Chain A
Amino acid sequence: MASTRRIFLRNAGLAMVGIGSAPIWLQRALNAADAPAQRKKILVAIFQRGAADGLNIVVPHGESRYYEMRPTIAIPRPSANIAKEDAAIDLDGMFGLHPSLAPLKPIFDARQLAIVHAVGSPDPTRSHFDAQDYMESGTPGLKATADGWLNRALPLETGHISPVRAISMGATLPRSMRGGNNAIAVENINNFQVKDNGAAKILQSLYSGSTDQVLNGTGRETFDAVALLQSIQKTPYQPTTGANYPRGRFGDSMRQIAQLIKSNVGVEVAFADIGSWDHHVNEVGQKASQGPLANILSEFGGGLAAFYADLGDRMSDVVVVTMSEFGRTARENGNRGTDHGHANVMFVMGGDIKGGKVYGDWPGLAQEKLYEERDLNLTTDFRDVLGELVVGQLGNRSLRTVFPGYQTQKFRGVLRSS
């Protein structure tokens, strides 16, 4: 592995001489390639787009109000009378995982998965678009923020800056990742190149020489990343035995992020999203293990569990955090679904996580405790969870830059090192 990487770097460096000087990172990498690659702490952010129903994902089965408010779509309490795969998986007597998240239970038990409940954005909007925008900009209520929290979370770099230090899986760069630091979107790392060799070099120069600021910047980032990713395109990726990624875009994204991390190409933050959470109608099938929520949770939980298995010991460097723009109504609606709500649930997974616990103050579902008399109330601001990871995992202490205008209230202490 080390030697192929070195050869790649030399060849890529030489290839680029013809069209101008090799970028600084590549020159440095050429010189440093004999030294073992420096390991970085890595943060992977997952966005569940469409407002995931936190109350059916981490189920408050200890609270009878939950069952009163959701007569036909509640996830049943674990009990001897009901098949295991159709009931919540108990975590602590009060909360339980949706049965489709069974693959996450061993990680929770190994204390490498923490859950924060009743968490989210304090902004009252129930617009998917605005709420995603606010969560991704990291500035609820402020539309003018130009860049995303994950871009600002990248620590100041000295020396070698990898062109893939911030990478998002998919055809568009999410709001979270936009901003002054280089960040790239990659649909498929094995396909990430201009296929026509003759054209590739000229196109590269067209973009790097363009006075079009936007296209020039993105073009440079793109071709730097192309050069680097060629090094890992040569060998087909074989996940660790036992890491079974689910079929579909989310599984593909997680597999590729794992591949990048294990290839030591300098990833520091990665982003993937997973859609199909907006269940206004028939959210749960005849049994809890059926229906659209169960299906998307299988993909979600399966992808996270496969990633965990795939990285193995390397998880000690990695934290994965999940979020969704808002939760859903505490009561089911008229179509066995749920409408747009408020607070939600987040998962935090990693080697350095103090897991095996559901964090956050549970506000309860009593009518007077609900937000606007309909939704789960918020007791943890999502920026407290992300902020702890920005400081503790990425080593970036300037939270005022990452979450401008926000005064951290209380880190929940999900990280071992913080």
Chain B
Amino acid sequence: MQRKVLAVVVLFFSISGFSALARKHKLENAPKPAVAQMSSDQKALHALNRLTFGPRPGDLEVINQTGVDRWIEFQLHPESISENPLLETKLQPLDTLRMSPAEMVAAYPPPQQIKAMSEGRMVYPSDPETRFMLQKLVARYKQKLMEKGDAQPAADKMADSSELLNADQLRTFQTGSNSEKAGLFGTLPVMTQLTLLDAMPQPKRQQLFAVASPELRRRIQRFAGPLQVVNQDLSDSKLLRAVYSNRQLEEVLTDFWYNHFNVYLDKGADRYLVTTYERDVIRPHVLGNFKDLLLATAQSPAMLFYLDNFQSVGPETPNPNANPNAKRAKRGLNENYGRELMELHTLGVDGGYTQQDVTEVARCFTGWTIRQPRRGGGFEFNERQHDKGEKHVLGVTIAAGGGMEDGLKVIDILARSPATARFISKSLAVRFVADNPPQELVELMAATFTRTQGDLRGVMKTMLASPEFWTPSAFRAKLKTPLEMVASAIRAMNADVDYGFALNRELTQLGEPLYRKQEPTGYSNKSQDWVNSAALLARMNFAMNLTGNKVPGVKVDLQRFVNAQNDPMTIAHDILMTDLTTEARQVISQGLADNNIANNKSAPIALVAGLTLGSPDFQRR
């Protein structure tokens, strides 16, 4: 641990021009005497609680040595922080994270393509492994059709595959442990591996997964369903980054802005579009300019598909892709995007727009569409779908014949609106400061937003330099969202995350399945929406599962607590980085004594750690 602290500190100071940078961006700390301020110890922990996914062991030392203001300055410039090599290693096997949507569709085709291939409407790809996998999936699909869903890997499939193995290998394959089987796979040619995987029932493949090499894992996943690989990579990457990234504020903000411009992963083509949406549309702008971010989302295939704008068409334009067999329908205007753009993305529902504005904005965006949405195509403006008439948006006349400019003008109007400045500032303040942030703070942030024409880093700086951010009543006042709870628990335990699907299942129990908020509102940033009995029980169960090492894919090493074994309060302090409340201390001591487990050497660490993570104290940040 000591070594790690040192390494991170060295890393900070080794960045060239460090002091110049720190001077240049020195936070304007102009405390108003009216608002009381936290102690410096609290400040450090507060910064970690609010600007990261929770402190890891050692983080408090780092921030104290660096100084809170300088640490914040670094976090506001994520490019100045070198990324955690461990994170990069863990992300490496998740190859869809680096692909374009079209490449994903090719390498991990959707069920419709498997059907198309089975009916001969589509040719197999040339890559031998992908081809082989698809042939197997097609065979499985056909068998399912024949047996009317009663598909059971036939015994002869097993017999066929066993011919590929010698007697020793066969014995390992049939009766060996999962690790032995994983070892065996490592020695076999790829096609043999695939044949064996195909012959194994799904539960057996899942057991193998836990101990498999990264390569074998991909093969197992692809057999379970190629499309799911894309979605699993995405959720895994979010969890891995939340847990491991050194650029914590960037991760927190990426979560915030994705949620602000929410897209639902399970809506049709979005299954292949969300990866690049987060990577190329959201992430690059989280500390950039709001208008750039807004325009990027407006032109992203993921958003165009999610809110239906890609098929919104002006009047008197023939449907260019009409299916001759479909009922003849004149396609036309779709208001979905126009409305959410104003209500959720910019002005806010009280931002002073009318139903007429919604319709006019929708007209401006006709023709903003996607080239081949189901094949992962990009944004295009289709002149023929565009409503060429004059429009009136929020009191501004947009002249007829503007083409794609119409939409750009709307983006401009909305990005400049004082209502947008206030709405965005308030949303950030709700996430980072308080459920009901002080109006003066929101106005201060909005003023920065307006003055800088939407510089999001500037708005964050104003917030972080405000006395309201550091007021003692803000300390541990926000209830963690499920993602914050899960990530902070893993970080507090310094647990190792190997893969994330079980974690995502836990998050579903807690009420926040990743990338799966169906409504465009995104998940709530307010405490009241996360406090209920089902979610609370799920948090407690997750805490106990985690410290009991019962979450597949996550390993907790309790060794670091061994020295504190006879002192439960030290364990709790190590996890919370502050003392448990007096009541909690009493309850835990009493509970351990009552249950006669204080003397049992094997159980208490996991139990005490689990109680700490499940306690009311840990639910706040």
Whether A associates with B in a native complex is yes
Instruction: Point out the residue from B308, B541, B620 that lies within 8 Å of A280, measured CB to CB.
Output: B308
In angstroms, Cα B355 to Cα A126, docked, is 8
Q: Is the CB of A185 within 8 A of B535?
A: yes
Q: Is the CB of B607 within 8 A of A198?
A: yes
With an 8 A cutoff between CB atoms, is B275 at the interface? no
Q: Which residues, 584 to 621 on B, are CB-close (under 8 Å) to A?
A: 584, 586-588, 590-592, 594-595, 597, 603, 607, 610-611, 614-616, 619-620
Q: Is the CB of A126 within 8 A of B339?
A: yes
With an 8 A cutoff between CB atoms, is B187 at the interface? no
Q: How far is the CB of B348 from chain A (nearest CB, A)?
A: 10
With an 8 A cutoff between CB atoms, is A221 at the interface? yes
In angstroms, Cα B591 to Cα A206, docked, is 10
Instruction: Point out the residue from A72, A187, A211, A214 that lies within 8 Å of B527, measured CB to CB.
Output: A214
Chain A residues near B312 (CB-CB < 8 A): 334-335
What number of A residues sit within 8 Å (CB to CB) of B? 63
Q: How far is the CB of A403 from chain B (nearest CB, A)?
A: 21
With an 8 A cutoff between CB atoms, is B548 at the interface? yes
Chain B residues near A336 (CB-CB < 8 A): 327, 329
Q: Is the CB of A185 within 8 A of B311?
A: no
Chain B residues near A281 (CB-CB < 8 A): 308, 311, 334
With an 8 A cutoff between CB atoms, is A35 at the interface? no
With an 8 A cutoff between CB atoms, is A215 at the interface? yes
Chain B residues near A83 (CB-CB < 8 A): none
With an 8 A cutoff between CB atoms, is A252 at the interface? no
Chain A residues near B581 (CB-CB < 8 A): 210-211
Q: Is the CB of A209 within 8 A of B587?
A: yes
Q: How far is the CB of A373 from chain B (nearest CB, A)?
A: 10
In angstroms, Cα B505 to Cα A187, docked, is 13
Chain A residues near B540 (CB-CB < 8 A): 194, 199, 203
With an 8 A cutoff between CB atoms, is A193 at the interface? yes
Among A49, A203, A275, A276, residue most surrounded by chain B Cβ atoms (within 10 Å) = A203
In angstroms, Cα B418 to Cα A412, docked, is 46
Chain A residues near B330 (CB-CB < 8 A): 334
Q: Is the CB of B349 within 8 A of A125?
A: yes
Q: Is the CB of B531 within 8 A of A202?
A: no
**Interface locus among A92-100, A114-122, A127-135, A307-315:** A127-135
With an 8 A cutoff between CB atoms, is A333 at the interface? yes
Chain B residues near A211 (CB-CB < 8 A): 581, 583
Q: Is the CB of A214 within 8 A of B607?
A: no
Q: Is the CB of B532 within 8 A of A172?
A: yes
Q: How far is the CB of B549 from chain A (nearest CB, A)?
A: 13
Residue-wise interface mask of B (30-42) relative to A, using a CB-CB cutoff of 8 A (1 in contact, 0 not): 0000000000000
Residue-wise interface mask of A (160-199) relative to B, using a CB-CB cutoff of 8 A (1 in contact, 0 not): 0000000010111100001000001111000011111011
Name the prevailing secondary structure of the B interface residues. helix
Q: How far is the CB of B255 from chain A (nearest CB, A)?
A: 18
Chain B residues near A407 (CB-CB < 8 A): none
Residue-wise interface mask of B (317-333) relative to A, using a CB-CB cutoff of 8 A (1 in contact, 0 not): 00000000011111111
Q: Is the CB of B588 within 8 A of A206?
A: yes
Asked whether A18 and B594 contact (CB < 8 A) given A199-B610, A206-B587, A211-B581, the answer is: yes
Chain B residues near A209 (CB-CB < 8 A): 583-584, 586-587
Instruction: Point out the residue from A18, A195, A334 that lies within 8 Å of B544, measured CB to CB.
Output: A195
Residue-wise interface mask of B (413-449) relative to A, using a CB-CB cutoff of 8 A (1 in contact, 0 not): 0000000000000000000000000000000000000
Among A71, A173, A184, A275, residue most surrounded by chain B Cβ atoms (within 10 Å) = A173
Q: Is the CB of B610 within 8 A of A215?
A: no
In angstroms, Cα B333 to Cα A49, docked, is 23
Instruction: Point out the residue from A19, A202, A222, A276 that lies within 8 Å of B537, measured CB to CB.
Output: A222
Q: Which residues, 119 to 165 on A, are CB-close (under 8 Å) to B?
A: 124-130
Asked whether A334 and B331 contact (CB < 8 A) given A187-B534, A201-B591, A218-B533, the answer is: yes
Q: Is the CB of B541 within 8 A of A195?
A: yes
Q: Is the CB of A280 within 8 A of B334?
A: yes
Q: Is the CB of A171 within 8 A of B510?
A: yes
List 9 A–B pairs whose Cβ atoms lie within 8 Å, in order of A's numbering.
A126-B358, A170-B534, A202-B595, A206-B611, A206-B615, A207-B536, A281-B308, A333-B335, A337-B334
Binding site for A on B (CB under 8 A): 308, 311-313, 326-336, 339, 343-344, 349, 355, 358, 479, 508-511, 518-521, 527-538, 540-541, 544, 548, 581, 583-584, 586-588, 590-592, 594-595, 597, 603, 607, 610-611, 614-616, 619-620
Binding site for B on A (CB under 8 A): 18-19, 49-50, 71-72, 124-130, 168, 170-173, 178, 184-187, 192-196, 198-199, 201-203, 205-207, 209-212, 214-216, 218-219, 221-222, 225-226, 275-276, 280-281, 286, 332-337, 339-340, 372
Known: A192-B537, A196-B541, A281-B311. 20 other contacts (CB 8 A): A49-B519, A72-B329, A125-B349, A127-B339, A129-B344, A129-B521, A173-B532, A173-B534, A194-B541, A206-B583, A206-B615, A206-B616, A212-B616, A215-B536, A215-B619, A280-B334, A280-B336, A333-B334, A334-B330, A372-B355
